[in-house]
Structure 1
């Protein structure tokens, strides 16, 4: 499953897998506990395939950041938990992405990236290649 079916829903912890669309929104399944929820059209929802991280040169798609973490960790989970202290998180992220924009990428963003990567790992969603995703090339 590619990142265009994985969602982050504002106010809800973790990540969700898009199950189906409804007339008033859609149904999503939590990757944390497998529970299904209905999400209205007014909810703040982000599709992981459309998220990017600021670097000094460009905006790097989250998929590519996940690939860099995967290479660093040799396909396993991150060596630090997302709840580590600020300096450790920044050091880790600097190893993964040395040119990230420290002024625009906050510690909370780094925590989310690490937490999301580990959650995707736990659920066996480790193929971060581009597949048929033409949407990231259009941006």
Structure 2
């Protein structure tokens, strides 16, 4: 028995081919490690609970004569602390993370020379970075957050 090929058969075959095509990509995207859909932070809920603490630290930063600043130099990213502060009493950490790729995120302790902290150019890829400087001076905590394009 030979089946006739008409408009109805063609439409059904086209629908089946289209649905198969879409299902292939849906399954491929969900199973592939190349398309990682993980959270930006693993400790999302714990970070949410510390929100008021961060707000207090940011308010402390607003009371300074001048806040932190940053600039791109030929050596890397240079973070400048207020000149009125004694660099020996500044402690804390700098955390840089990329919303697009958590594998390149990193954290470093604050180690100043002449009011400046240099993050080498080799550690930073071009693109958007979120910078977070959580630091203390004379027992008071401060926080600086900024989205930068490097």
Answer whether TM exceeds 0.5 for this pair: no
Larger C-alpha radius of gyration, 1 or 2?
2
State TM-score, norm by structure 2.
0.23
Larger RCO, structure (CA 8 Å, separation 6 or more): 1
